[in-house]
Structure 1
Amino acid sequence: MLLHEQLLEIADPVLRRVVDHPFWSGLRDGTLPPESLVYFLQQDTGHLLPAYGRALARCAAQAPDDAHAAFFARGALGTLEARDRLREASAGTAAALGIDWPAEQTPAGPATHAHCAFFTAAAATSPAAGMGAVLPMAWFNLNVSDNLAEHCTPGSRYEPWIRIYRPAEGYRHVVRKFLATADEIGGRCSESERRLLVETFTTGIRYEWAFAEASWLRRTWPI
């Protein structure tokens, strides 16, 4: 079994729980409270995506392979550019969706803060740890956005936003490259580093569920 096949086998039950989560199912059928989508977008574009982009940049800086360094560097730039497009497009469609778009950026919530810290720490640890940390977001983003588009209730209030959120078709190639890079890094590193890659990947997929849960509940610091 290739490493990426092992990783996706680990991710599959969590992916099913994520797409069935009330946050994502509420987006599909239009029942999600608008405040939850605002929370998600503020946390995602204001904190999580910038932290993810910087984690990719750290992966690029640590990569011993020039091709991997170039791939991660392009990913870092692409993430920040995608963040800007999503923020601008979401703010532009807020009124049509009945959403009150905040005038200021909201602070990072507890789950977001932990997720961002995880990206930073893993990417600074080793190429294998960084790979394990950044792969889940790419994989889940592709699959969750596909599920939204394919199972969205026709005419639901969030259908226009779902079209905005879904990445361009070329993103599939990027995700395939992520999987191939995981195989290459895992094939060259020590057994202990390979285990670390699997461990950080497993932690990362749990954060994908935690982010949906926090967005659904709009969790903020209690004090």
Structure 2
Amino acid sequence: MGRGIMLQEELKELAAPILDKVTAHPFWSGLRDGSLPGESLAHFVHQDTAHLLPAYARALARTAAAARDDAYTALLGRSITGTLEARDKLREAYGNLAPGLGTPQLDPQTPADPATHAHCSFFQAASATSFAAGFGALLPMVWFNFQVSNHLLERHDPGSRYAPWIEIYHPGEGYGYAVKAFMATADRIGEQLTGAERAELVDHFAVSIRYEWAFAEGAWSRPSWPL
């Protein structure tokens, strides 16, 4: 895509087919209709809260430090706190809901599975490369989380075993404003970057959206390190 279109539109067009595959994935469809094995939900929650969200918060911090505009530093800085608070809320809520859902309690000793480890390493590498690379890597998790959680809330079976978790998992209406701020920031950044920097952002975004699918796949298949 050329620089003639806003960066937000370029990224949305790039992400659309992956987003469709994510929402159609058996992990998310199983949550919607209640057929997902409880072990898969426990795996997802642990990998997300114990490993991925902390790695995401640290990548936000590194990218914020590399920003040339105070407004970008402020946006990313606020997101660090929001990410860690969301981590704590989800972990506590799952612990409270697990007995009623009939799902396993979380084991704090469980390491990151191979896919999660790769995802976390990608955040670390991208945020250490440049501001453009870091922002491109971080943006899909904000945007996809909102899209997927909205899809879950709007389309799940109200009688689904997981309806209480789906309601907790949704970040709330106010999160939409944060997503809009990130996407509007992408447009402003797109106008300020050189052609090479913009291409770097888009390339890291393209990799990151595929990790969103891989994370759902990991929760579904529950891989582990070979013994």
Q: Same fold (TM over 0.5)?
A: yes
Amino acid in structure 2 at the alignment position of 1:33: P
The structure 2 residue matched to 1:173, chosen from 174, 177, 189, is 177
Q: Distance in 2 between matches of 1:123 and 1:2?
A: 23
Contact conserved, 1:46 with 1:105, CA < 8 A, in 2? no
Counterparts of 2:182 and 2:47, CA distance in 1: 24
In structure 2, what is the Cα distance between the partners aligned to 1:109 and 1:103? 13
For 2:13, the equivalent position in structure 1 comes to 9
Partner of 1:199: 203
**Which letter does structure 1 place at the counterpart of 2:76?**
F
Q: Give CA-to-partner distance per residue, 1:136-179, whole Å, 9 cap, x none.
A: 00010000000001110121100000000001111001001111
Equivalenced residue count is: 223
Residue number in structure 1 paired with 2:167: 163
The percentage of counterpart residues that share the same residue type is 60
1:121 aligns with 2:128: no
Counting only pairs closer than 5 Å after superposition, residues 1-150 of structure 1 correspond to structure 2 as: 1-150=5-154
Maintained 8 Å contact 2:6/2:190: no
CA distance in 2 between partners of 1:213 and 1:61 (Å): 32
In 1: Cα distance, 2:122 partner to 2:107 partner: 28
1:200 Cα offset (Å): 0.2
Q: Deviations over 1:94-132 (max 9, x none)?
A: 000001203434100000000000001111111111110
Q: For structure 1, which segment, 182-191 or 17-26, has the greater mean C-alpha deviation from structure 2 after superposition?
A: 182-191
> Which 5+ residue runs of structure 1 have no aligned equivalent?
none
Runs of 4+ more than 4 Å apart: none
Within 1, Cα distance between the matches of 2:66 and 2:108?
35
Aligned residues of 1:19 and 1:25 also touching (Cα < 8 A): yes
Q: Report if aligned partners of 2:146, 2:176 keep a CA contact under 8 Å in 1.
A: yes
Aligned to 1:212: 216
The alignment status of 1:187 with 2:216, answered yes or no, reads no
CA distance in structure 2 between the partners assigned to 1:79 and 1:196 by the alignment: 25
Q: Helix, strand or coil for the counterpart of 1:108?
A: coil
Bigger Cα displacement from structure 2, 179-188 vs 57-66: 179-188
> Matched residues in 1 for 2:109 and 2:153: separation?
28
Query: Separation in 1 of the partners of 2:184 and 2:98?
Result: 38
Q: Deviation digits for residues 79-105 of structure 1, max 9, x if unmatched?
A: 001100010011110000001203434
The TM-score with structure 1 as length reference comes to 0.98
**One-letter identity of the residue aligned with 2:17:** P
Decide whether the 8 Å contact of 1:52 with 1:119 is kept in 2.
Answer: yes
**Aligned twin of 2:155:** 151
